[in-house]
Structures are given as C-alpha cells and as structure tokens.
Amino acid sequence: MQIEKHKVDELNHQLSAKHTRQFEHISTDVENVEEVLKKLGAFNVAIPSWALGTGGTRFGRFSGGGEPRSLEEKIADVGVIHALNKSSNSISLHIPWDIPENAAAMNALAAQHGLHFDAVNSNTFQDQKDQKLSYKFGSLHHTDKAVRKQAIEHNIEVIKYGVQLNSKALSVWLSDGSNFPGQLNFRKAFQNTLESLQEIYEALPDDWKVWVEYKPYEPNFYSTTIGDWGQSYLLASKLGPKASTLVDLGHHLQGTNIEQIVSILLMENKLAGFHFNDSKYGDDDLTVGSINPYQLFLIFNELVEGMDARGMNHATGLGWMIDASHNVKDPVEDLLQSVQAIKIAYAQALIVDKTALTAAQNNNDVVLAQEILQQAYRTDVRPLVAEASLRNGGALDPVNAYRTLSIREHLISERGLKTVATGL
C-alpha cells in the first residue's frame, strides 16, 4: 500500500486556512521560526520493526486487523508513516524476529518508500527454535563459556545482516541478570559481559557503532547485569570509542532524573541515542508524550543545549528511535502520535531563550530560569510542526489523514482481519 501524494495535498488544502492563521500567529512570537522549521524538517525518528503489530501482556493479546505478516509489509507500514509525517525515514530490525533473507530486495523496497535501515538489534533474551544452548540463565554474562560464545556469534551474525542493509550500528539489550540474592556473582557476571562485548566490538566494521542499552529490572527481578547508565557507561568506556550508552526512557526507576543522565552522557561523548516511549509505572512502553510530556521537553532541552555546545548535527548526531508497544491502539496511529510528540518537545526546546536562561542561571535567579523554560514548554508549537511537515510534502495532521484516507481499512482488505505480526 502506497499513499498517493495528491490525496495528502487535498487534505492539507482543506485544513490550510486554519493552519495559515495559526502559523502566522506563532511566527510573530517566535524569533527563529525559519531555523526551527529547518531543524524540524531534517529530524527523523526510526520505527522499530517490532512495533507495527499490536503488543500484549502475559494476560492476553488482542490483535488488530491488517497487521503486517512479513518484513515487506512492515516496510510498507513504515512507508505509510513516513508518507504522512515525513519524519520516519528508517526502520530498525530486531533479529531474528525479522530476518532480511534477501537484503538487496529489502534495500530496494525500503528505498521505494524513501526509507533506509537504522540500527540492527540482537536478541539473546529468548531461546529460538533449534538453538543449541539456552539463555535461561543469561547470555553474554553466562557462567558457561559455550553459552557466551553462542550469544557472541549471534551478535556477529546480526552485524553481518546489518552490513548488507547499510545499517551503521548494533544495538544490544541483554536481559541477563538474576532473580534471587546469591544466584550470581556480580563481578564475574560483569567481567564476562565485558569480555563478550569486546569480542563483538572486534567484529564491528570501521564505520560502525555498538549501543549498549540498560534496564533496571524485568525479566529478572533481583539484579540486571547492565542495570543502569553507570554500568552501561563503564562497559562503553572500557570497550572504546565505537561504544556508547543507549537511553530507553522506560528503563529507569520512578523519579530518576533522565535529563541529567542525558546531559552528562552527551558531555562525555557517550550518548548513543534513544528508545522513546512513556511510562507511568515501569517499562510500560506507552505512546511517547502520553504521560509525562514535560520530562520529554526537559530531555530535549538538554539535548539541544548539549549538542549545540559540541557542534553536533541534531538530526544525525544521535540515534533516534521509538520503542513502544501498543496493546489497545492501532500501532500506526500510536507511532504517528509518538513522532508528533517528539517533534513537539524538540520544537519547544528549540525556542527556549538560551541567552536569557544562561543569564538567569548565572545569577541564580531560580524563578526566572523556571519561567523561561515554562514559557517555551507552554507555547503551542503544533503549527510549527505542521508547517515543517507541510514543507516536506507530509500531512498537516498525520493521524487525521490516516483516518480520513481509511488506511487501516485498506490494510485489512489487503491482508485480512486476523493477522498477527511477528515480534513483540
């Protein structure tokens, strides 16, 4: 399924009078409108191949209709998202959930939709059919060298797939940990993980990176071997310049100051990028911005400040990806909402009066500093996001366009009502 551009244009035309009014209004207040639009227009967030089907919990899964049944159909779904928002030009594969049997064909299909492949993700947190040794007690940290070797080889195989797809990074998340005190020797588990990652690091092509993701708990409930940013940072530092720390927003204990973590990692050139989602209780994988949009804005405020301080390109300097699960929503709608929420937070961060904020900070003017941040946060920047999309040929209102064009109904008639996507 491919969206015809003229249909998006027609919908934009219907909304154009209202949009023009709103855009003109905000343009009078925001000094750097053109710069903001340029940056928003260049900004893209990758879509993970596992987020295109409805997720579920251990209590049940309620599949939606027209879910993608193959990698080809997942690429088509990301194509739909990108055609509407012009900000999701890449797809991130989880292997072996999505194995690109014919990489050349996948590259060509992706290109037809204006897409390319982002980081590849390895998976040593589940046992696969015909797998020799089990990951029940971990993978890269395992007490048995043979299990570690199997997990290392899997990661190297994932890199090989990634090379064929022109990916440039391997993203590693381990569920390795322990469920009960005494089960694990923490020091040995960490050392084993480091040595295993060193072997994987050696297999990275020159222009590749490895991103080390952390998570405090789940599926293990006593300890996780890469449980926080300190452990990930330590590993990344010992590994070398190609390794850095990946921040998944859901992978923090409640109340953690994520924006501060981001700021320090960025300063140390050890921030790989993000898995965006939102949460109320734990790793809930909810729609980005649905629970705590202020936190998202504060993170982007640190990102803009820190990337500018280091002269980094906002669009390409870090890995931007969504990592969410959709239990009750149409996944495509949820992903469109998530990307919009990210662009809103980014636009708000771009309009912060940085000179005034720095002065307020230097004067320890706490009230003024807060006023400056909240002035930006409370500005309705949606007309800026809409204008950036419009200028790139996307929809002014992507969710509305998706619904008005009856995309899900088309997908259901093409693929059937009872389809189940692979992956989580």
Smallest CA-to-CA distance from 118 within 314, 301, 389, 323 is with 323
User: Is position 248 an interface residue for ligand PSV (rule: CB under 6 A)?
Assistant: yes
Q: Which stretch binds Mn ion (CB under 5 A): 67-75, 240-248, 295-303, 381-389?
A: 240-248
Q: Closest approach of Cβ 7 to Mn ion, in Å?
A: 34
User: Is position 248 an interface residue for Mn ion (rule: CB under 5 A)?
Assistant: yes
From Mn ion, ligand PSV, none, interface partner of 333 (C-beta below 5 to 8 A by class): none
Binding mask 194-233 for ligand PSV (x = CB under 6 A): -------------------x-x------------------
User: Is position 283 an interface residue for Mn ion (rule: CB under 5 A)?
Assistant: yes
The Cα–Cα gap between 369 and 371 comes to 5
Binding mask 15-54 for ligand PSV (x = CB under 6 A): -----------------------------------x----
User: Is position 278 an interface residue for ligand PSV (rule: CB under 6 A)?
Assistant: no
The Cα–Cα gap between 284 and 273 comes to 19
The residues facing 90 across adjacent strands are 116
Residues 6+ apart with CB under 8 A from 90: 44, 46, 47, 78, 115, 116, 117, 118
Binder among 73, 283, 330, 397 for ligand PSV (CB under 6 A): 283
Q: Closest approach of Cβ 207 to Mn ion, in Å?
A: 23
Q: Which stretch binds Mn ion (CB under 5 A): 56-64, 89-97, 247-255, 383-391?
A: 247-255
**Comparison of 125 and 149: residue with beta carbon closer to Mn ion:** 125
**Spatial contact of 271 and 263, defined as CB atoms under 8 Å apart:** no
From ligand PSV, Mn ion, none, interface partner of 387 (C-beta below 5 to 8 A by class): none
Three-state secondary-structure class, residue 46: strand
Residues 300-339 that bind Mn ion (CB under 5 A): 323
Q: Closest approach of Cβ 85 to ligand PSV, in Å?
A: 22
From Mn ion, ligand PSV, none, interface partner of 424 (C-beta below 5 to 8 A by class): ligand PSV
Q: Closest approach of Cβ 423 to ligand PSV, in Å?
A: 8
**Spatial contact of 222 and 177, defined as CB atoms under 8 Å apart:** yes
The residues facing 278 across adjacent strands are 286
Between the two ends of the chain, the Cα-to-Cα distance in Å is 23
The Cα–Cα gap between 167 and 117 comes to 6
**Comparison of 51 and 352: residue with beta carbon closer to Mn ion:** 51
Three-state secondary-structure class, residue 386: helix
**Spatial contact of 226 and 174, defined as CB atoms under 8 Å apart:** yes
Smallest CA-to-CA distance from 244 within 205, 268, 272 is with 272
Q: Look up residue 256 and give its two tokens.
A: 């953690």
Q: Look up tokens 């789940």; give the residue.
A: 218
**Comparison of 196 and 279: residue with beta carbon closer to Mn ion:** 279
Q: Which residue is nearest to ligand PSV (CB)?
A: 173
Binder among 117, 161, 173, 274 for ligand PSV (CB under 6 A): 173
User: Is position 275 an interface residue for ligand PSV (rule: CB under 6 A)?
Assistant: yes
CA atoms within 13 A on the CB side of 390: 20
The Cα–Cα gap between 92 and 69 comes to 17
Note the residues at the interface with Mn ion (CB under 5 A).
248, 275, 283, 323
Note the residues at the interface with ligand PSV (CB under 6 A).
50, 121, 173, 213, 215, 248, 275, 283, 323, 424
